[in-house]
Amino acid sequence: MPTIPWLDTDKLDFPSVENALEDPNGLLAVGGDLSKERILAAYRRGIFPWYEESQPILWWSPQPRTILYPEQIYVNRSLRKALRRGDYSVSFDMAFNAVLDGCAALSPKRPGTWITDDMRAAYLSLHNDGWAHSVEVWRDDILIGGLYGMGIGKLFFGESMFSREANASKIALVHLCGQLQEWGYPLIDCQVGNDYLDSMGAQEINRDKFKQYLDQYSNIAARPVDKWAMNWRYGNVSLAE
């Protein structure tokens, strides 16, 4: 049985992603810490932390990788109607903490959460430093959905999303795709696929192709941090049939 290496908290080194397990898909390393430097180093290598409260920190790099090209997001009929109604508003980075709360909230469909206290603290710190970002969907000043992730170079790494009303998280994702198109971001890293992401147009690419995107886009100058924080409404994604 393969041995999973433990990370040295004094070093930022990671094993090669080619050493990640096939089962469970993508498990690469254990331990280390959730410092800003380690998390940023991980994302730039196509690695992310994902674990539950009772577990040590687990680091993953799945093969294949699920991604979404912003210009290829799929908008079905019911979502199209919701977008055209426009009875909501959207913001960036206006309520990061509240989005974390929404993503971590337990429900009958989600009895547990991987957003532990340590993970929450780590991503809040990354947000305060301009790396982690949120998209919020509001109705009558009430937060009804949103998502958060990491913006590194000209890549967005999606982490989690939530809805308190129908289509709310999808509205957030469509708006994010529209803005990323405008800024020239080539893709959103969705990490691991599921039915929800498939329904929005996500697809799988192999590790080598994903690494090419990381090498090309993760270290280049991107949109200034303060430009994420703005209110705007739908209008920059085509709704053509």
Domain ranges of the chain: 6-63, 66-232
Say if residues 187 and 155 touch (Cβ distance below 8 Å): yes
227 CA to centre of own chain: 18
- At residue 223 the predicted structure's pLDDT band, cuts being 50, 70 and 90, is low
pLDDT at 236: 41
Question: Does 232 have pLDDT greater than 60?
Answer: no
DSSP symbol at 72: G
Q: Do domains 6-63 and 66-232 have the same CATH topology?
A: no
Cα–Cα distance, 138 to 142 (Å, whole number): 5
Q: Which fold has domain 6-63?
A: Alpha-Beta Plaits (3.30.70)
What is the topology classification, in CATH, of domain 66-232?
Aminopeptidase (3.40.630)
Yes or no: say if 90 and 139 are a contact pair by the CB < 8 Å rule. no
Whether 197 has a pLDDT exceeding 60, the answer reads: yes
Strands 48-49 and 65-68: unpaired
pLDDT range class, residue 3, cuts 50, 70, 90: confident
Answer whether residue 239 shows pLDDT above 60: no
